[in-house]
Structure 1
Amino acid sequence: MISFNYETNFELDNEDKLSSWISNTISEEGFKEGDINYIFCDDAYLLNLNMEFLDHDTLTDIISFDYTMGKLISGDVYISIDRVRENAKDFNVSFENELSRVMIHGILHYCGYKDKTDRENAEMRSKENYYISKLT
């Protein structure tokens, strides 16, 4: 089950569409959907998590906690709406495009995709673009 939670003044206006999109992505990648929680927050909220759990004193757009077991995808995906807005401006894309990229990025990590090397990053970006094209 996919749930959306809000810790800041923001709310998705298309939860059902996004939930179906995420479910279809998980299925297409050969996994089963478990409990996935999206938590939308601000920079301060996510910075606190980043310092507390990862010992990083930096702003970030997403932190995901992966509880996947075998082929059952589960986890908590924290997304800073502040960072998504800034990144959308920096990358000259719409807020909606950047938000969907970050949302599916977390799921792709749960499916085993990495982004530490140039090759891994290119594969991750390709997968993000592929699934974003299925959303529109």
Structure 2
Amino acid sequence: MDIQIIDETKIVPEAQIKLVEDVLEFAGQKLELAEDTEMSVTFVTNERIRQINQEYRDTDRATDVISFAIEEDPEEEGLPANFEELFDIPKNIGDLFVSLEKAAEQAETYGHSFERELGYTMVHGFLHLNGYDHIHTKDEVKMIPLQETILDEFGLKR
């Protein structure tokens, strides 16, 4: 996968960036995504993610991750459903905005390592970019076990 990492905070250690790249690459392989699939991850502060939540979700609080999936329907644009394949264009699945401050708070709250929480946050957002959801029980029973399987197999067990 082609993962663009943007660190707006300017303080994310290289080891954490590597963990993010590795866990997302692993998750992409589990979902059998094309090697040239594109996405971005932007690290932001709690205040910035709170602002994003306010603007796009009408929620005035910081969260660990916000996912912005690119859900274009090629056929609505008059293109064949597999136009990326036909024209050798990488598929961009979207963007994640992540607060490491919030992830650290949650790691402490849930009593597991920061690395586990960071992996959880990344995989959770990644699955949203790939059409998974957990709002309704019928969707949650697909997403959450897949998320746990990816984390366990990657080595980030509870």
Higher strand share: 1
* Equivalent residue letter for 2:28: I
Letter in 1 for 2:139: E
Matched with 2:60 is 57
Distance apart, 1:118 and its partner CA: 3.6
Paired residue for 2:30? 28
- TM-score, normalisation: structure 1: 0.84
Structure 1 unaligned segments of length 5 or more: list them: none
Select which of 96, 101, 114 maps to 2:120: 101
Gaps of 5+ in 2: 74-89
User: In percent, how many aligned pairs have the same letter?
Assistant: 23
Give the alignment partner of residue 96 of structure 2, picking from 70, 77, 99.
Answer: 77
Q: Once superposed, what is the RMSD of the aligned Cα atoms?
A: 2.3
**Is the CA contact 1:35–1:75 (under 8 Å) kept in the aligned structure 2?**
yes
Are 2:143 and 1:124 aligned? yes
Aligned residues: 136
- Deviation, 1:29, is 1.6
Matched with 2:130 is 111
* Match in the other structure for 2:76: none
Structure number with the bigger relative contact order (C-alpha 8 A, sep ≥ 6) is 2
Give the superposition deviation at 1:45. Answer: 0.8
1:4 paired residue number: 5
